[in-house]
Each structure stands twice: as C-alpha cells, then as structure tokens.
Chain A
Amino acid sequence: MTTISYPTLIPRPKEYVSGVWSWLTTVDHKKIGTMYGVIAFFWFLVGGIEALLIRIQLSGPEGKFLTPEVYNQVFTMHGTTMIFLVVMPLSAAFFNWMVPLMIGARDVAFPRLNAFSLWAFLFGGILLNISWFTGEAPNAGWFAYAPNTEVPFNPKNGVTYWILGLQVLGIASLAAGFNFLTTIINMRAPGMTFMKLPVFIWMTAVVNVLIVLAFPVITVALIQLQFDRLYGTHFFNPVMGGDPVMWQHMFWLFGHPEVYILILPAMGIVSEVLPTFSKKPIFGYPFIVFSGIGIGFLGWFVWSHHMFTVGLGPAANAAFSISTMLIAVPTGVKIFNWIGTLWGGSIRATPALLFSIAFIGMFVIGGLSGVTHAAPPSDAQQQDTYYVVAHFHYVLFGGALLGLWSGIYYWWPKFTGKFLNEKIGYLHFTVVLIGFNITFFPMHWLGLDGMPRRIATYPESMGWEVSNLVASLGSFILGFGVLIFIYNVIYSRKGPKNAGNDPWDGRTLEWSIPSPPPHYNFETIPEVKYRDDFWYKKYPELANESHGGGSGSEEDSHGESHSEPHMPDPSYYPLFLGLGMSIMIGGFIPFTGHWIVCGVGLAIFIWSFLGWCYEPVND
C-alpha cells in the first residue's frame, strides 16, 4: 500500500511491540478488557477500604475515629468509586472480553476508540482520587445535591474534582457505549439474527443504549454545576432565579437509567451462567429479552421516585409511583425465567452457579425493599434512612457484584486457560454471602428505626448500637471474603493450563475457540444457525425448531482463506488522547497556574488528535 509515512511527527508502534508498551498501545479487546478488570478491582479495594472506615466510625455511638468532615469525604468517595470506578468498568471488562467472542467477531468495531475509553476511565479515576492528596476530597454525597455543592456552602475544590472526574469518566463511558452498540448491531456473525443473540449480549446492548442516552444529561448537569462554581452562573442558585430542584431532576434523569446500567450486565451474566450449569436452554428467551428491553425503556420514566419528598405534588408523585411499580413486572418476569431455567436441569453446583443463585436471592430481597419505597407515603418514612442504604446495597452488592463474581468464576478459564480453585471458591462464596447479609440486613431495622444515612455519629440513647456493631463486624467478614478471592486468584495462577476450549460444556460461541483465545479470536468467522449455536453443533441430535432454530441462514460461508487474519496495529494515540483530555479537563480546577496545565493538556490533546487522524498504517 502506498501510504505516506510521517516517521518523526506521528509515529506508530511496530506491529508486535512487547513489554509495557504492548499493553499501553494495545487495541486488542481482550487486553483492554483485562486492564479494565484489573484497574476496576484496584478501585474496588480502595472503595472497600473506604467502606470499612465508615463501618469503624459507626460501630459504636459517639464515634471519634473520623472527623465529620473526613467522614463526609469518605462516604462520598465510597459511593462514587463503587458506582463509577468499580461496577461500571467491571461490567465494561466483561463487555470488552465477551461481546466480540459471543457474537463471533474478531474485535470491536472501533479498536482505537475502545482503547481510548479505557485510558479515559483510568485517568478519570485518578483525577477523582487526586483530591485525597490535596486534602479536599468531594464531600457532598454521590448525587451532589445543589445548592449544597455551590461555592457558598462548599468553598473547597472537592466538588470541582468530583465534577471534572465524572466528566472524564462520562466521556469514557460514552465512547465505549457508541463502540459496543455499533459492534453488536453490525458485527454479528453471519446468521446470528437479533433473536439468536446470547442474553448477555442483549443486556449489553440495552445497557449501552442507556449509557448513550443517559450520560449526555449528566454531562450537561455537570457543566452547569461547574459553571455555577467556577464562573458565577446561577443555574442552581435560587437567589437569582435558579432552581436546585432542577439539579435533582437532571441528576436523577441520568441517575435512574444509571441504576439499570449497573444491574443489567449482571443480569446478563446470570442468564448465561444458569443455562450452562443446568444444561438447559434459558427458559423463555423472548420474555427475558423483552423484559430487559422493557426495564431499559421504563427506566427512563421513573426518575422522580428519588424525589418523592421534594414536594412535586400528588399528581407527579402518583404517576412516578405507578411507573416505578410497573418496572417490578419485567424484573419479576426475569426472576421467574431464571428459576424456570434451573427447574429440572442437571445442575452442577460450581462457584459460578452458586454466585448466580445468590444473585437471584439477594436481588429479590433488594427488589422487594425497592418496591416498598415506590409508594410515596412509605417512602416519606424511608427517605434518607439506612433502609434505603440496605436496599441499594442489596441490589448493587448482592445483585451487581455477586453477578459479576459469578461471571469471573464462569469465564476465568476462558480468560486465562486455568480454573479458579473450586474449593477456595466455595469458601469465598460462603464468607462473602454471610458477611454481606450480616452487614446489610441489620440496616433495614436501623432505617425503619429512624437512623438517617450520612450521619457521622449518633448518640447512645437511640437504641442503634447493637445493629450497628453487628453491621460493622459483618463488613469485616465481607472484607475477609474479598481477601479469600485475591488469594484464590494468586493460588490459581500456579495451576496447570488445563481448561481446554470448553470446560463447562458451554452453549455460546466463545467456548468454541481455545482458552485463552488467540489475538484474532476466530480463525474463520462462524456460521450461526441456532440460538446457542455452539451447543447444537456439539449435539446436533438436540437441534429442533423449538430451540430458537428454524430458518437459519443456509448460505455457505464466504470462502475465506485460512491464513492468520491481520488485526489492527497498536497505536500510541488512544493513550495520549485520553491523557491530554484528562489533563486539560483537570486543568479547570482552580489552583495556581491551572491554565498552564490546561494548555499543556490541550497541546497533548491536539497533537494526539491529529496523530489519530493522520496515523499511517503498518503494512
């Protein structure tokens, strides 16, 4: 190919660089997924330590372990970290790894964009956490209600860090969202129609639609808050005609779809794990898919249930109460589908399956307590109490994280070629499940007993001591469970590479290729005829029309040569584009000389943007 090369200004790494640069310049979705997972797990440990600090402080009345100011910072960063730096990127790790493998593609649609979203996520997380070292971490809670976040009430830079960090993370999520949607719509293997997609891919698609549509809203809200704080506008300043309730609306317009962004990937993972380990196709595939879509759709029309106590008026409260209760229907449909999948199957109780079953149980508890505050009168009692804390930890930890752990145990052989040790896995599961329930179940009682959330301490006479102490003990059991998982990972690294292509007798395409997969994934792009195509290729006698088969595409595969497919070259620019963007955005934080930092970031950004455009192709 006659490409002009620009060796000095715009370099491009050689096709197979090695060492650290092979990770920094990679555009391979598997490496990117691994990095997402590792970084997100690091933040999980950080967020977990923050949680333990909170529990130490609250373990007894009149706690003196943290000052109220530090306590505010710790709970704010705990929430923000767990949501934006742990659950979302851990899900993104699974999207990265599994989407191309499950739809039979060699990579995502835009490999460089994919790498860019990884780096933006990394630097966004760093930007957010730099605030610890300047001694002014964000302290206004993860939903940062205005006017509490405005300068007169919050003059330190903490909230500015929070705004700008979230802005970078939002850009990362948006880039990933565009990428995965395009991949799922356009890169499916021949014959894989939408109704033959694995459920996890369906849930990924719904999640990314939500990301793509919800993140612009929070971007705008954050821009407005930033202008309020830094440039003296009046968006949320009632003195000048602004309206703090507008912030609440904008935040929850994003915030409620965000809740489904967090939980739907775990639901997708569970929908893959249960059929595999009960050797049955998923029960009621169309129902589970359409209820996923239904959840994604209804998720847009329930946001004001976070604001029942604001005083929107009876009509608005009633409308949002109804839509909130409505959303329990598709969720319930899914739960019955999962139970139906287990029913009568030949079940193998591996740790992955146990986590999935625990997911169902814990999610039902969290979901039911959620329905109780769908009713405005009862919500008025529960608003901002520990009951709500218990509710969302049951759905986010008991739901999302247990589901993600299930995915880790399920796909670990595919990631590495080795099994995670099963016995340690059982121990991990037991300790985590017990610790989790000991930690969060007493919070229901605390909340109904009137203990508000976000208080740094409480007096002795309230009768909250026992439950708080139990919860704090439970949190350390939970932390111990996480340590067992880390031990399991380290222990299993020494094990033999004995997983083979298909260790679980799986159903979907990723099990048809070696573990770990070669960098081009599929030697030939598979032809798909049935839902769970790989299963029916293994057991053709089971294939009949009732299992999503029917009129598969009868065309022959396009006669591809069997030489090793050429994959996209590595590139420096995703890394530097992410770096430049984060420095530029971080440069808006008002410290001395911040415009210089901003300018440096802009320069890196422009250079890598041009590099991205004019980058030559190695051929």
Chain B
Amino acid sequence: MSTAIEEHVNSTGVDNKKLMMWIFLGSDCLFFGSFISTYLVYRNRSLAGPYPNEILDIPITTVSTFVLLMSSLAMVLAVSYVQRGSQVIGRYWTLATALLGLVFMGFQVYEFSHFAHLGLTPRTNIFGSTFFVMTGFHGGHVTFGVIWLVIFAISRLAESLKQKLLIIGSVFSVIIAMAGTMMTHTLDVIPNIPSAVAYSVFGIGLIGTIGSLYLLKTSDTQNIESIKKEEGNLELAGLYWHFVDIVWIVIFTVVYLISANDGAPLL
C-alpha cells in the first residue's frame, strides 16, 4: 500500500496490521468456540455407531499434534531469524513450517479417509457431523496458513514471478488433491474425484513443488523498506499459525483425549 496511511503516527504505537491480526484472532476464537461448543453440547448424543471409542486413534493423533507443535516451533524460529536480519535462513524455516503443516494435513486426510472406510461420515451420526465439520474447518485454516507461508517464503527465495507462480501452483495442486480426496471420501454428495486423477494431480503437484524448490535462487532485488514490511507480514503469518496450533491443542484435548472413551449414550 502507499505511503500516506503508513506515515500516520499510530496512536498506540503498534502496527496497524498486527493490531488487526489480534482483533481477527479474538474474533476467530468465537468461530472455533462455536464449533467446540456444538461438539460439547452434542457429546454422547449419537444414536448410531461408530462411536468415538470405536474409532478414534490416539497414538496417530498424538503424532500429528506433535507435528503441528513442531511446526509452531519452526514458525517462531523463522520469525526470530528474519527479525535478526537472517532473511534467507528465516525463509527456509518458513518453508519448513509450511511443509510440516502439509504433513499435518496429510495426517488429517488419512484420518478422514480411514474413518470413512470404517463407516463414519458426517452423515452417519451426530458425532460424525460435529467431528468432521469442526476438524475440517480447522484443516481449512491450516491450508490457508500453508498457502500464506509459501507465498511469504518464496518472496525472496524465488527469483522471478514465473517461478513464484510455479511453486504456488504446485502447492495449490497438492492441496486441492488432498482436500478433494478428503471431501469425496466423507461427503458423498460432492462429485467423486476418481482416485487415479487425485493421485496424479497430487503427484504432479509434489514433483512440481520439489522440482521448483530445488531450482530456488535467492533474489536480493528488494530494498530495506520492503524487507521491513515483509518482516511484519511474517509476524502476522506467525500469529495466525500459532493460533491455528492452539485451536488444535483445544480440539485435541476436547475431541480426542476427553471423549475418546465415549461409547453409546446411556439412555
């Protein structure tokens, strides 16, 4: 954006964007709060199986929780390095964060498809409805975070706009393939993507991502001012990413640890 707005001396001395990010996070608390409230209210109300105790797999989810926590660590290191002036190392940590996020999403895709094979879809019972919609929207937040981080990471790791678009395109195709698989397994009203198509899109995207990452060249065409602006942007992306992480901490506790022993309701 242009200059006049940013020249304005801020009344509280904090950055406008960061302030807005915190307001957004406060608002997003209500968003996930509503999902989690719904889940809690509907706990133990399923009238048909499979029930949580038959289907939730704590060890695997613990691992995916660990992955997301470590991605948060990578994120904070990225912010830390970028703010200390190590721009390139910071970009690599950002990329690491995004990749860990993708791994987390992979776990979620596996979990969703696995549950669907075991007979739990959003249509099966009220546990399925609340579980899939809540974790699905959390996954959507993770997806958005991954895209944001990738866009940031390649802002100085990629040389030309073409390369940037190549990377973003590849990441998009990976994500779309993953999300598509997830949705066609769980929501049978969504047009079914043949798995061959899904896997090939996924494969092409993966090859594209790895290939374009291999070709990375750092570009130094930006001046100090735009680097400063980018530091601010990374801090925002970081706040967002950590927020997604703490939402998962709550979901992991509420959905998995606390209710994993829930069986059929006592009527």
Contacts and interface: CB of A to CB of B under 8 A. Distances in A.
Do these two chains really belong together in a complex?
Answer: yes
Interface of A: 1-4, 6, 9, 105-107, 109-112, 174, 177-179, 181-182, 185-188, 190, 192, 212-217, 219-221, 223-224, 227, 230-235, 240-243, 246, 250, 253, 520, 525, 558, 565-569, 595, 606, 610, 613-614, 617-619
Contacts of B31: 216-217, 219-220
Contacts of B133: 223-224, 227, 233, 235
B20 A213 contact: no
Contacts of B126: 234-235, 240-242
15 contacts: A2-B221, A110-B16, A174-B27, A182-B23, A219-B31, A220-B31, A220-B34, A227-B133, A231-B122, A232-B123, A232-B189, A233-B128, A241-B126, A242-B129, A246-B41
B27 A216 contact: yes
B4 A567 contact: yes
A240 B125 contact: yes
Given A111-B1, A186-B10, A231-B189, A613 B151 contact: yes
A527 to B, nearest CB: 12
* Residue of B20, B42, B125, B225 contacting most chain A CB atoms (<10 Å): B20
B4 A235 contact: no
Interface residues of B, number: 57
A418 to B, nearest CB: 28
Given A182-B16, A212-B23, A235 B38 contact: yes
A217 B128 CA distance: 21
B8 A525 contact: yes
Given A212-B26, A242-B129, A243-B42, A185 B191 contact: no
The dominant DSSP class at the B interface is helix
A194 to B, nearest CB: 9
Given A112-B1, A220-B35, A234 B129 contact: yes
Interface string B206-249: 00000000000000011101100000000000000000000000
Given A107-B4, A242-B129, 6 more contacts: A185-B12, A216-B28, A221-B34, A241-B42, A567-B4, A568-B4
A2 B128 CA distance: 53
B197 to A, nearest CB: 14
Given A227-B122, A231-B123, A250 B2 contact: no
B46 interface: yes
Given A109-B5, A112-B1, A212 B122 contact: no
A228 to B, nearest CB: 8
Contacts of A520: 4
B34 A178 contact: no
Contacts of B128: 233
Contact of A106 (B4, B27, B123): B4
B172 interface: yes
Contacts of A234: 123, 125-126, 129
B27 A212 contact: yes
Contacts of A606: 172
Nearest to A105: B8
A186 B16 contact: yes
A110 B19 CA distance: 12
Interface in B122-167: 122-123, 125-126, 128-130, 132-133, 137, 151, 161, 164-165
Contacts of B191: 595
* Residue of A242, A246, A566 contacting most chain B CB atoms (<10 Å): A242
A189 B255 CA distance: 48
A230 B42 contact: no
* Residue of B3, B137, B151, B223 contacting most chain A CB atoms (<10 Å): B3
Nearest to B152: A613
B129 A233 contact: yes
B10 A187 contact: yes
Nearest to B187: A231
B9 A190 contact: yes
Contacts of B250: none
B81 to A, nearest CB: 22
A111 B8 CA distance: 14
Contacts of B8: 105-106, 187, 525
Given A216-B28, A235-B129, A240-B126, A565 B20 contact: no
Contacts of B109: none
A111 B4 CA distance: 11
Contacts of A214: 30
B196 interface: no
A610 to B, nearest CB: 7
Nearest to B160: A4
Contacts of B34: 216-217, 219-221, 250, 253
A241 B14 contact: no
B4 A566 contact: yes
* Residue of A1, A219, A234, A567 contacting most chain B CB atoms (<10 Å): A234
Contacts of A230: 189
B114 interface: no
B41 to A, nearest CB: 6
Nearest to B36: A220
A563 to B, nearest CB: 11
Nearest to B21: A178
A182 B20 contact: yes
A478 to B, nearest CB: 37
Nearest first, the 5 A-B pairs at minimum CB distance are A233-B129, A216-B31, A220-B34, A216-B30, A241-B45
Interface string B35-62: 1001001100111100000000000000
Contacts of B11: 185-188, 190, 192
Contacts of B30: 213-214, 216-217
B151 to A, nearest CB: 6
Contact of A185 (B19, B45, B125, B226): B19
Contacts of B161: 4, 6, 9, 614
B24 interface: yes
Nearest to A226: B133
B168 interface: yes
B124 to A, nearest CB: 9
A239 to B, nearest CB: 8
Given A219-B31, A233-B129, A243-B42, A558 B4 contact: no
A164 to B, nearest CB: 16
A111 B23 contact: no
Contacts of A212: 23, 26-27
Contacts of B226: 3
Contacts of B24: 178
A187 B168 CA distance: 35
